[in-house]
Amino acid sequence: MLAQRRASQRTSDAKSILGKRLKNLLKNKQCKDFLDGLLKQLAKDTGIPTVANTFLKVFEAASFRNISGETEDLGSAFVTASGAILGINFSKARPGGRNSLEAITIHETAHGASRVFQGYSEFQIASAAFTVGGAMGLVPDAVIPPWEE
Ligand SMILES: [Zn+2]
The CA 100 to ligand 1 mean position distance, Å, reads 14
pLDDT tens digits along 103-147: 999 999 999 999 998 899 999 999 999 999 999 999 998 888 888
Flag whether 148 is in a domain: no
Number of domains the chain is built from:
1
The CA 76 to ligand 1 mean position distance, Å, reads 7
Q: How far is CA 20 from CA 15, 24, 26, in A?
A: 9, 6, 10
Segments forming the whole domain that contains residue 72: 2-135
| Count of helix runs (H) and strand runs (E) in the chain | 5, 3
Q: What percent of the chain has pLDDT over 70?
A: 93
pTM for this predicted structure: 0.90
The CA 110 to ligand 1 mean position distance, Å, reads 8
Flag whether 47 is in a domain: yes
The CA 73 to ligand 1 mean position distance, Å, reads 10
Alpha-carbon distance of 126 to 119, in angstroms, equals 14
Flag whether 21 is in a domain: yes
Flag whether 70 is in a domain: yes
Flag whether 88 is in a domain: yes
